[in-house]
Chains A and B, each alone.
Chain A
Amino acid sequence: MSPLAAFFRQELRVINLGLEQFAGELDRLGVPVVHVAWSPPAGGDLKKAALLASLTDEDEDDR
């Protein structure tokens, strides 16, 4: 079964980064959701953040 076909059969469980209202809406619908208190990584420095991200690159297979 392709990952997408498997996904279509799953219960949606959402991680929300950004607008809190989306998490609130999903929560009200009874969808499992966790809202991330996100702030720009590396103190808002885009270059540093990209570098950090590439350094900690791990290819996890979650299935």
Chain B
Amino acid sequence: MSPETIRSLVKPSAYQDSVTLLLLARQLRSGPGVVEAAALMATPSNRDLLEQSGLLTAEAAKAGSNDLVIAVRAESAAAAAVALAESEAFLGAKRKRLEDSGRALPRTLESARRHLPGANLALISVPGAFAALEAKKALRLGLHVMLFSDNVGLEDEVALKGLAVQKGLLMMGPDCGTAILNGVPLGFANAVPRGRIGLVSASGTGLQQVTALLASQGEGVSQAIGVGGRDLSEAVGGLMTFQALDALAADPTTEIIVMIGKPPAPAVRARVEARLRAAGKPCVLALLGQGVKEGRDATVHAVATLEDAAWAALAMLEGRPYIPQPFSIPAMELRECVEEFCRALRREDGAVRALYAGGTLAHEAVLILEPLLGPIATNLRPGSGGRHRVTDLGADEYTVGRAHPMLDATVRVEEIRKAAQDPDVAVILLDVVLGHGAAPDPAGDVAAAIEAARATAKMAGRGLAVVASVIGTAGDPQDLAAQCARLEAAGVWVLPSNAQAVRAAACIAGGEPVLARLLEGRP
């Protein structure tokens, strides 16, 4: 039998955590030709241990308690050398993926509470079937709930919200994608300063549009509470909306209340208005739907678009009246822009193809486009038809088995390509949404597709305009300015809000008559 070799490696003051040492020892022992191995701190007791195991070298004998000894006894010098070299590599790689002697993640809501004493909110995005069970558990444990999951049944929603109201807790959702509580953006939300405006919203991207606009003027949010899309239905009866409105009414830091949603069931609407008046604070009501009557009285200002909601709230703060304008760009500059795009189109008019990631923004687009351009085909209204099309790419038929367009641009890129090949399409209309939770570079993700689309159209001898709004703030992770610049470099006309982008698209598609109508203030 060839003589065995004992080799060691001493790493002074090398503080590898216990898990690493354990894995290292295992890896050493499994090496070819290795008879015995150890990875131990060179304490006196362990030096004894190494000696007993026939692993003590002169070098290791001189090491101190804070030094790491890696020792192997192998069938040959070569095998020992290889084993030690691999352990060096292992430690080098481990340095990159350090894990301390920490604990495994909790597996249940209950054990999570032990990990985080004082937890006050459960953010739930597990599959819909189980989401209701978890939400109920959370409420019973006294936690507020943000229920991001959709596919939660109506009965469950009513029961959950009933329980929440009973306990004075928030039950935001189901399908609540955005909230800002106590200054913290939750789900898909933008970095917005703390301020004096409180919001209650049935819509995630609606909330994002309004808060982003407020932030652009340096004003901020006290609380932005999501209530889920069905809260104002007759079955749910506005349970969470009223809970939220009452809370904002009582909150000393909230001076203005903004409510965002769709027109509620008639029975519910009357109660909503009464609650708003009872709040004792000025309120802005942005219920996006057909036939919404704009107007204001002493306390409530009803507006037709998300942008108007933001500006109306600001005006109320400053004690001045707000009169909606179709564009914030000076009329002359606007006209020049539109005319340039129209010229490039080389035709009288064309179709709008709107491809949206945000459902509410798509809805707003339909509401603005219809009076200006005529019937709109949209997947938001089954059975609708028209030359112009508005698509909510976040709808079920587009997202089954794939990521939401806020996170992954694949589907949108494909739709842009298809739109470019349709000779009737004159304008592509997009929303680009930034913020926490969104993709790292939404503009970059679509820019190449946009450039290709315009090139395609050009080669076919037609022009193609692309219009977009960027929903984001200067504090968002994705550099707002750079995102706008990237789009503009791709030839996109970027407008300050979704409403303005929609109107700009309508002007390009519909030409001078539409532009004149908007500038003259005709509805």
Q: Which A residues are within 8 Å of any B CB, using their own CB?
A: 2-5, 7-8, 10-19, 21-22, 25-26, 29, 31-41, 46, 49-50, 53, 57-63
Q: Which 3 A-B pairs have the closest CB atoms?
A: A18-B125, A62-B142, A3-B168
A63: chain B residues within 8 A (beta carbon): 142
Most buried by A among B112, B113, B138, B167: B112
Q: Taking chain B's interface residues, is the majority helix, strand, or loop, or is none over half, making it mixed?
A: mixed
A17 to B109, CA, bound (A): 8
Is residue B323 within 8 Å, beta carbon to beta carbon, of the partner chain? no
User: What's the nearest-Cβ distance from chain B to residue A3, in Å?
Assistant: 4
Q: Is the CB of B223 within 8 A of A8?
A: yes
Is residue B161 within 8 Å, beta carbon to beta carbon, of the partner chain? no
A4 to B109, CA, bound (A): 21
B444: chain A residues within 8 A (beta carbon): none
What's the interface size class on B, roughly? 35 or more
A22 to B339, CA, bound (A): 44
A53 to B412, CA, bound (A): 41
User: What's the nearest-Cβ distance from chain A to residue B338, in Å?
Assistant: 39
A3: chain B residues within 8 A (beta carbon): 167-169
User: What's the nearest-Cβ distance from chain A to residue B523, in Å?
Assistant: 40
Is residue B26 within 8 Å, beta carbon to beta carbon, of the partner chain? no
Taking A34-B116, A37-B105, A53-B133 as known contacts, 18 extra A-B pairs with beta carbons closer than 8 A to each other, sorted by chain A number, are: A3-B167, A4-B170, A4-B243, A4-B250, A5-B251, A14-B120, A14-B122, A14-B123, A17-B126, A18-B148, A18-B149, A22-B437, A26-B186, A35-B105, A36-B106, A36-B112, A38-B108, A57-B140
A8: chain B residues within 8 A (beta carbon): 181-182, 222-223, 247, 251, 253
B140: chain A residues within 8 A (beta carbon): 57-60
Q: List 11 A-B contacts (CB under 8 A).
A: A4-B250, A12-B121, A12-B183, A15-B109, A15-B121, A18-B126, A29-B184, A36-B112, A40-B130, A53-B137, A60-B142
